[in-house]
Amino acid sequence: MTPPEFATREDLAPRAADLRARVDMLEAYLDPAALRVRQEVLEQEMQQPGFWDDPQAASRVSSEHAAVRDRRVEYEQLAMDVSDLEDLLEVADDGDESDGFFQEIADGLDRVESLLARLEESRLFSGEHDAGNAVMTINAGEGGTDAQDWAEMLMRMYMRWGEARGFTTDIKEIQEGGEAGIKSVTMTVSGPSAYGLTSAERGVHRLVRLSPFDSAHRRQTSFAAVDVAPLVSDDVIVEIDEKDLKIDTYRASGAGGQHVNKTESAVRITHAPTGIVVQCQNERSQMQNRATAMSMLRSRIVQQELERREEEAARARGESLKIGFGSQIRSYVIHPYTLVKDLRTGVEVGNAQSVLDGEIDGFIRAELERRAKLDSGDQSS
C-alpha cells in the first residue's frame, strides 16, 4: 500500500489495527512460549558430551535449533515493532502531519507488514518436506532458440527471487543452448521453507513475445517446464538398488572445476525402475559429482511419490486437471501487451518485467493459499 503524500492518523490507525489482529493470530499459531521451551531443550541436547559423535544427528538438531530460534526471535521483534508503532500513534499530535512524523510511522508499518507476510507463510506449509531445501530443474520446451532463451530467463528470475529472500541458489548442472539460452539447468535452492515455496512454481510456464531471434520479428510462443523436488537429507530412507543404476561419465562443459573439458568428471545416473535421469558436472571431482547426482536422484524419487499422493488427493476432490509437472500454470505476455497471469489462482500483474526480475512472491502466496483451502476441504477456490 502506497501512503498519501502526507499520511494522517485516519490513514494509519486502521492499518495498525489490522496488523495487530494479524500478529495476534500469528501468535496463536506460532506459540512463542513453546518455541522458547523447545529452543532450551535443543540447547541442552547440544551441550551434552559427545554431541558431535554422530555428525548427521548433530546437524539435524543444530538445524532445528536455528530454525526454532530464528522464528521465535523474528516473531518477538515483529510484536515489539507493532507495539512501538501503536504507541507512536497514541502520542502523535495531529500537528505532526506536515513535518513527516506520520510518514515515518507509515514507513514503519510498511516494513512490519512485509515481515509479517513472510512469517504468515509458515501457516501455509503442512508437507513433511516443506521446511527444507529444494532441487529445481528447468527444461526448455519446443520452440528452438526462443524456448532455450525463455528457460534462461526463468533461471534468472528464480535466482533473483532467491537472492531477494536471502536464499542460496547453486547450479549443479547446466546444458547451454546452441545459439542462446539453455536447454536445461538443475540447481539447489537453500533457505527457510525453500521447498514449500518453490513447489508452487512446478509446472509449465508460457511466454508470448516478439522473437528477438526471428529476422521478421514475428510473435513467438515459447514453453519451459519447471520441476521441483525436496532436497532430502541423508537420514531419509530411500530404497535404491545399485543394480538398477546406469552410471555414465563424460566431459563437463561450461563452468565447473579446474578439469572441465580435460577429464570425464561429469556424471549421469539413470534409474531404471522410474526412468529418472540425473546428472551433475559442476563439482570439483567425479566423486563429488556422483555424490551430488545420487542426492538429486533420491530427491526426485521422493518427489515422484509426493506427486502420486497429490494426484490421488486431486481425484478424491474430483479435480480433472493433472497436478504437477505437466500442467501449464502461468502465462507471461510481453507482446502485444504486458501481463503475467497465473492460471490456477487468477492473480495478474501488469508489469511483466518486475516479475521477470524476481517479484513472484504474490503468485507463490496465492497458490499456497489455494492449496491450503483445498486441503481444508474448501471447494470454492
Hey, what's the cell of 26? Answer: 500469528
178 with 120, same domain: the answer is no
Report how far residue 246's alpha carbon sits from residue 248's, in angstroms, rounded to the nearest whole number: 7
Which residues on neighbouring strands pair with residue 176, listed in sequence order? Answer: 182
| Cβ atoms of 340 and 355 closer than 8 Å | yes
215 with 175, same domain: the answer is yes
Query: Is pLDDT above 90 for 164?
Result: yes
Report how far residue 304's alpha carbon sits from residue 306's, in angstroms, rounded to the nearest whole number: 5
Residue 255 lies in a domain: yes
Going across the sheet that includes 348-349, the strands are 168-176, 182-190, 134-140, 219-230, 203-210, 328-333, 339-342, 348-349
DSSP 336: S
86 with 145, same domain: the answer is no
88 with 163, same domain: the answer is no
Residue 289 lies in a domain: yes
The reported pLDDT for the residue numbered 322 is 46
Hey, what's the cell of 326? Answer: 505437466
Half-sphere exposure of 359 (CA within 13 A, CB side): 10
Distance of CA 318 to CAs 199, 315, 376, Å? 22, 5, 15
Q: Select from 306, 324, 342 the last residue of a domain.
A: 324
| Cβ atoms of 256 and 231 closer than 8 Å | no
| Cβ atoms of 266 and 288 closer than 8 Å | no
pLDDT tens for each residue of 193-237: 899 999 999 999 999 999 998 888 889 999 999 999 998 866 667
Distance of CA 315 to CAs 120, 312, 318, 345, Å? 29, 5, 5, 19
- The band of 258, judged by pLDDT with boundaries at 50, 70 and 90, is very low
Residue 279 CB-density burial (10 A; 0-12 exposed, 13-18 middle, 19+ buried): buried
| Cβ atoms of 172 and 236 closer than 8 Å | no
- The band of 45, judged by pLDDT with boundaries at 50, 70 and 90, is very high
The mean pLDDT value for 152-162 works out to 97
283 with 230, same domain: the answer is yes
The reported pLDDT for the residue numbered 143 is 77
The mean pLDDT value for 341-360 works out to 96
Residue 357 lies in a domain: no
The reported pLDDT for the residue numbered 341 is 97
111 with 139, same domain: the answer is no
Query: Is pLDDT above 60 for 320?
Result: no
pLDDT tens for each residue of 84-109: 999 988 887 765 555 578 888 889 99
Hey, what's the cell of 348? Answer: 495478474
- The band of 323, judged by pLDDT with boundaries at 50, 70 and 90, is very low
68 with 157, same domain: the answer is no
Query: Is pLDDT above 70 for 4?
Result: no
First vs last Cα of the chain: how many Å apart? 25
Q: Select from 81, 107, 124 the last residue of a domain.
A: 124
Half-sphere exposure of 363 (CA within 13 A, CB side): 27
pLDDT tens for each residue of 142-154: 878 999 999 999 9
Structural domain boundaries enclosing 119? 9-124
The mean pLDDT value for 306-323 works out to 63
pLDDT tens for each residue of 264-276: 788 999 999 999 9
58 with 177, same domain: the answer is no
- The band of 158, judged by pLDDT with boundaries at 50, 70 and 90, is very high
Q: Select from 324, 344, 373 the last residue of a domain.
A: 324
Report how far residue 155's alpha carbon sits from residue 167's, in angstroms, rounded to the nearest whole number: 14
Residue 340 CB-density burial (10 A; 0-12 exposed, 13-18 middle, 19+ buried): buried
Query: Is pLDDT above 80 for 131?
Result: yes
Give the chain's domain count. Answer: 2
> What percent of the chain is predicted at pLDDT more than 70?
87
- Between residues 159 and 29, the one the model is more confident about: 159
Residue 4 lies in a domain: no
The reported pLDDT for the residue numbered 308 is 81
95 with 178, same domain: the answer is no
Residue 345 lies in a domain: no
| Cβ atoms of 19 and 89 closer than 8 Å | no
The mean pLDDT value for 322-347 works out to 85
The reported pLDDT for the residue numbered 264 is 73
The mean pLDDT value for 120-135 works out to 84
Hey, what's the cell of 346? Answer: 487468477
Query: Is pLDDT above 60 for 255?
Result: no
**What CATH number corresponds to the domain at position 311?**
3.30.70.1660
Query: Is pLDDT above 60 for 261?
Result: no
**What CATH number corresponds to the domain at position 20?**
1.20.58.410
Residue 266 CB-density burial (10 A; 0-12 exposed, 13-18 middle, 19+ buried): buried
The reported pLDDT for the residue numbered 67 is 82
Residue 206 lies in a domain: no
- The band of 309, judged by pLDDT with boundaries at 50, 70 and 90, is confident
Average pLDDT, the chain: 85
| Cβ atoms of 205 and 223 closer than 8 Å | yes
The mean pLDDT value for 309-329 works out to 62
Residue 377 lies in a domain: no
Residue 364 lies in a domain: no
225 with 293, same domain: the answer is yes
118 with 57, same domain: the answer is yes
The reported pLDDT for the residue numbered 208 is 94
Instruction: Please report, to the nearest 10 degrees, the dihedral formed by the alpha carbons of residues 246, 249, 252, 253 taken in order.
Output: -60
In 3D, which of 44, 338, 365, 32 has the Cα closest to residue 196? 365
pLDDT tens for each residue of 51-65: 999 887 888 788 789
Query: Is pLDDT above 70 for 113?
Result: yes
275 with 134, same domain: the answer is yes
